[in-house]
């Protein structure tokens, strides 16, 4: 546990695309304004027949701003998002590798669904025109590990290269595993994060069939309302978040700006149900405790939690119970907010996007709000930073991600010193 090698891991670059905008600055401005990125879905033909007709789409994205035209046709949208966010993060960091450095630098990108839009398209091609009309790019466009694969090729990274697929915990698992690899001395730098582009007929229809989605179609901007008593389900969104993680001494030698230090990571499973969280958030509580133990941090040292906060009845109540279990009386002093109230749920990208918001909260001394918090729920009894951002000089921030199948992942960040 802890930091046996004395190696510290820092965040030196960040890039993102969400329904709130393209780029970190656009996103942070929207978060501080408490603006929702949720609206009517525009890219699904026949959307009027769906029970849920709202979501979070990334507007004004042009892949050619980040990727050569010859490469774009080889990538599903989730890969394009990952490539764009990684390019932003690299440019923000000033990160590069040369010579033998390449063997100790890699990429880990969490993905929930891989290329579901491409699969839907070529299934239709197959049914109408037969197998000979399937593109030779079909497989490279849909396999999830080509998100980090393309990033590695672009940036010359010859170290670790893989994709955790753990539903809504995928992004946190990617960032957390990168952190451990650097801390334990196996890598010196990793571009890590998550990406998702699953707002498609099958993606949306499947979640709607599970009754997991909000059907507040007439008020899309109010549909994602974590911890509010009137919440009725999550809102599907798309996008990507990528971070450059580096060993601290390496970052200092090259004069890099440091947004925050990553100090802990925990991951585990509920072993309870394929979609429902364990009662009272038992698995989530153990995961948060493991993260604190990994960082050698006491519960009372945590100032802020970026909650998983999906806006579903079960998740929000269980996560609140888990926070109360782990933090006890200190839970009353914690600030807890869900940025999903503004972005919607980015599935496999959520953890990475929320890691960026958490790092910015530490770096800029401002807590993101939970918008649409109107009616308190007795089962959700914490300080959710309701509706307005809050200035706060916080030192330690926890970010939670919990997924279907009972998969849990948490990361812990500390203000840069």
Residue 363 annotated among the catalytic residues of the structure = no
Residue 182 CA to residue 258 CA, distance in Å, equals 16
Phi, psi of 15 (to 5 degrees): -145, 145
Rounded Cα gap, residues 140 and 130, in angstroms: 19
Q: Is 345 a catalytic residue?
A: yes
- Going from the C-alpha of 223 to that of each of 15, 55, 216, 351, 383, the distances in angstroms are 26, 9, 5, 20, 20
Determine which one of 52, 114, 168, 410 is catalytic: 168
Can 308 be counted among the known catalytic residues? yes
Query: Which residues have CB under 8 Å from 63's CB, separation 6+?
Result: 72, 75, 80, 83, 84
Nearest Cα neighbor of 175 from 366, 415, 416, 411 is: 411
- CA–CA distance, 385 with 388 (Å, rounded to integer): 7
| Distance of alpha carbon 314 from alpha carbon 285, whole angstroms | 15
Phi and psi at residue 153, to the nearest 5°: -65, -45
Spatial separation of the C-alpha atoms in residues 254 and 235, rounded to whole Å: 41
Phi, psi of 114 (to 5 degrees): 55, -150
DSSP letter at 217 equals T
| Tokens standing for residue 104 | 């100790």
Q: For residues 389 and 370, what is the distance between their CA atoms, to the nearest angstrom?
A: 8
Tell me the CA distances in angstroms from 226 to 143, 296, 341, 376, one per residue in order: 32, 30, 6, 11
Q: Which of 52, 150, 287, 308 is catalytic?
A: 308
Q: How many residues does the chain have?
A: 417
- Give DSSP secondary structure letters for 188-209: SEEEEEEEE---SHHHHHHHHH
Within 10 angstroms of residue 232's Cβ, the number of other Cβ atoms is: 15
Q: Which sequence positions are flagged as catalytic?
A: 168, 308, 345
């Amino acid at each position: 546990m802890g930091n046996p090698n004395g190696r510290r891991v820092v965040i030196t670059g960040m890039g993102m695309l969400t329904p709130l905008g393209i780029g970190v600055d656009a996103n942070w401005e929207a978060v501080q304004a408490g603006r929702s990125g949720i609206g009517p879905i525009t890219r699904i033909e026949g959307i009027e027949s769906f029970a849920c007709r709202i979501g979070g789409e990334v507007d004004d994205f042009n892949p050619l701003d980040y990727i050569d035209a010859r490469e774009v046709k080889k990538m599903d949208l989730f890969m394009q998002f990952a490539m764009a966010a990684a390019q932003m993060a690299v440019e923000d960091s000033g990160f590069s590798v040369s010579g033998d450095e390449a063997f100790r630098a890699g990429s880990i990108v969490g993905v929930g669904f891989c290329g579901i839009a491409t699969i839907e398209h070529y299934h239709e091609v197959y049914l109408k025109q037969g197998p000979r009309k399937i593109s030779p790019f079909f497989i490279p466009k849909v396999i999830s590990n080509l998100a980090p694969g393309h990033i590695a090729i672009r940036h010359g990274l010859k170290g670790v290269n893989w994709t955790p697929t753990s539903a809504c915990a995928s992004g946190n698992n990617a960032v957390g595993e990168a952190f451990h690899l650097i801390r334990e001395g196996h890598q010196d730098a990793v571009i890590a994060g998550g990406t998702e582009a699953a707002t498609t007929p099958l993606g949306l229809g499947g979640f709607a069939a599970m009754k997991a989605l909000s059907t507040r179609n007439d008020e899309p901007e109010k549909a994602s309302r974590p911890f509010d008593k009137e919440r009725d389900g999550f809102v599907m969104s798309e996008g990507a978040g990528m971070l450059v993680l580096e060993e601290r001494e390496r970052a200092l030698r090259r004069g890099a700006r440091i947004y925050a230090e990553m100090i802990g990571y925990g991951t585990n499973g509920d072993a309870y149900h394929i979609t429902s969280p364990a009662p009272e958030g038992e698995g989530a509580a153990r995961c948060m405790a493991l993260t604190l133990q990994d960082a050698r941090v006491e519960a009372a040292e945590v100032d802020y939690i970026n909650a998983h906060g999906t806006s579903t009845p079960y998740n929000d109540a269980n996560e609140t119970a888990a926070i109360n279990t782990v933090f006890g009386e200190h839970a009353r002093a914690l600030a807890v907010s869900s940025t999903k109230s503004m972005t919607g749920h980015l599935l496999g990208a959520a953890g990475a996007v929320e890691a960026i918001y958490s790092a910015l909260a530490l770096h800029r001394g401002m807590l993101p709000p939970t918008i649409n918090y109107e009616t308190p729920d007795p089962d959700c009894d914490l300080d959710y930073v309701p509706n307005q951002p809050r200035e706060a000089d916080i030192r330690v921030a926890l970010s939670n991600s919990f997924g279907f199948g009972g998969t849990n992942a948490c990361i812990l960040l500390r203000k840069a010193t």
